[in-house]
Structure 1
Amino acid sequence: MANHNVKSWATVRETSVEIAEAIFELAGNDEVLAQKIWEEGSDEAL
């Protein structure tokens, strides 16, 4: 996912760009999987 889109994704979810980048790295840049990780994850895991 392009850096601009990661920033937008982070902003919408009220999280940091660094956390969004880590989620997308885990998800292999798959936005659907990134959303699942976000919904099911906890701050402690990140």
Structure 2
Amino acid sequence: MSTEMNRRSFVTAAVSVVGAAAMAPLLSACGGGPHQKAGAIKG
């Protein structure tokens, strides 16, 4: 397997990087916020 960068491997790598960058905000929006516990209210 050669280590030269041809057009197909470059495009594949570029699409992977762009896809990961596009998914990062979506994944961070799904989790990591303040969590509220359901149950009795402490007074």
TM-score in terms of structure 1 length: 0.30
The higher radius of gyration belongs to 2
| Structure possessing the higher relative contact order (Cα contacts under 8 Å, 6 or more residues apart) | 1
Q: Whose helix proportion is higher, 1 or 2?
A: 1
TM-score in terms of structure 2 length: 0.32
